[in-house]
């Protein structure tokens, strides 16, 4: 049975550097990996250390990686360690008792203890499988997220305008009055605040927000109705919406659009600006804010991202987005196992 090739694949949700891991039984035997790498888990025989290969470099021999359970307990422990530091100044006795309970977590009851802590999400591994969209299947949802300055709505609109038979937006709802050139159900679904609030209460929106005292939001139904026409639906959302969208129904492919931000303003020619957009005068503070925004989005949501698109300018970013979308219909991608059942 053991000789059978493992069919277990995991997407790593954290970076791992064996040389920095004090817990590893053998640093040389460790397999380094980065968040987002796909690992083929060759053996889960040991509760603490799995043997795995990185799929990207096929001939590499297997190395040791922390098991999901062990990594979870380590993360849980570092949370405890923080509490311990805090308690240090309060009582040394209490600290000792904390250490004891930490040790217990490593035992066979570890799993139960960890899942008790459902306030924390442990980013360890996500089991994935290869998935290719079949011709008769509903196209995957394409989700664009962007950090400050990425202007993803513009990108989305351009790519759709070039190919409206294949791509479409989900028509949002709004409470603002309809303008004379607008048509119900084309630019927006125009609704009263009462209707909007009711829909929001009933979780009908994947996201919504206020802009100039009007409410705007995209409904789940709006996405479904695009997909029912067999078109690929493109949405741009705040990254907080990602978790709700990660379902087997939508199988979202998440693209993180990051503007190319120059190192320092002084090195930049006056004619160009980040992301290729016409921003007018951009100060060093603006650039710093954009860097920070990209960093924060990456830290908080990077593990949910399938593809990072560095936006140099609008034209090249559109071309890249177009090619990603074309590949999405033809090629095989890694998705959580629960989506491919």
Catalog residues that contact ligand 5GP under the rule CB under 6 A. 172, 176, 207-209, 211, 216-218
SS3 category, 247: coil
Closest CA to 38 of 66, 11, 6: 11
87 burial class (0-12, 13-18, 19+ CB within 10 angstroms)?
Answer: middle
How many whole angstroms separate alpha carbon 321 and alpha carbon 309?
Answer: 8
- Give SS3 for 6: coil
Q: Which two tokens stand for residue 18?
A: 């064996």
How near is the Cβ of 200 to ligand 5GP at its closest, in Å? 11
CA angle 263, 286, 241 (to 5 degrees): 100
Distance CA 169, CA 52 (A): 40
Taking the least distance from each CB to ligand 5GP, the nearer of 181 and 341 is 181
| 80 vs 152, beta carbon nearer ligand 5GP | 152
CA angle 48, 119, 38 (to 5 degrees): 45
- Whole-Å CA distances, 12 to 102, 127, 257, 293: 25, 9, 21, 23
In whole angstroms, the minimum distance from the beta carbon of 176 to ligand 5GP comes to 5
Cβ 170 to ligand 5GP shortest distance, Å = 8
Q: How far is the CB of 213 from ligand 5GP (least distance, A)?
A: 11
Closer CB to ligand 5GP, residue 187 or residue 313? 187
3-state secondary structure of 226: helix
CB of 235: closest distance to ligand 5GP in angstroms? Answer: 8
Nearest to ligand 5GP of 217, 252 (CB atom): 217
Q: Least Å distance between CB 164 and ligand 5GP?
A: 18
Which residue, 189 or 258, is less far from ligand 5GP as judged by CB?
189
Identity of the residue, 114 or 226, whose beta carbon is nearer to ligand 5GP in the bound complex: 226
């Amino acid at each position: 049975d053991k000789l059978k090739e493992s069919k277990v694949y995991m997407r790593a949700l954290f970076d791992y550097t064996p040389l920095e891991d004090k817990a590893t039984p053998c640093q040389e035997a460790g397999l380094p990996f980065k968040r987002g790498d796909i690992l083929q888990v060759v053996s889960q025989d040991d509760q603490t250390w799995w043997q795995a290969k990185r799929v990207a470099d096929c001939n590499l021999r297997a190395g040791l990686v922390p098991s999901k359970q062990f990594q979870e307990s380590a993360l849980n422990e570092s949370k405890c360690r923080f509490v311990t530091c805090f308690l240090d100044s309060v009582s040394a006795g209490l600290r000792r008792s904390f250490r004891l309970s930490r040790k217990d977590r490593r035992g066979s009851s570890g799993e139960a203890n960890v899942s008790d802590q459902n306030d924390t999400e442990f980013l360890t591994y996500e089991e994935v499988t290869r998935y290719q969209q079949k011709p008769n299947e509903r196209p995957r949802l394409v989700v664009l997220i962007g950090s400050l300055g990425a202007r993803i709505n513009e990108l989305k609109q351009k790519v759709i305008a070039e190919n409206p038979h294949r791509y479409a937006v989900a028509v949002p709802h709004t409470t603002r009055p309809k303008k004379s050139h607008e048509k119900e159900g084309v630019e927006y679904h125009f609704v009263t605040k009462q209707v909007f609030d009711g829909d929001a209460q009933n979780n009908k929106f994947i996201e919504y927000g206020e802009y100039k005292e009007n409410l705007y939001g995209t409904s789940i139904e709006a996405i479904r109705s695009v997909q029912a026409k067999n078109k690929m639906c493109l949405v741009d959302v705040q990254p907080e919406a990602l978790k709700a969208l990660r379902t087997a129904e939508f199988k979202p492919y998440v693209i993180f659009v990051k503007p190319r931000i120059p190192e320092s303003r002084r090195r930049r020619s006056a004619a160009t600006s980040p992301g290729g957009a016409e921003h007018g005068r951009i100060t060093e503070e603006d650039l710093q804010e954009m860097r920070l925004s990209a960093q924060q989005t990456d830290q908080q949501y990077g593990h949910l991202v399938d593809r990072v698109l560095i936006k140099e300018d609008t034209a090249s970013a559109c071309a890249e987005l177009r090619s990603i979308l074309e590949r999405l219909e033809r090629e095989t991608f890694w998705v959580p196992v629960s989506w491919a059942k």
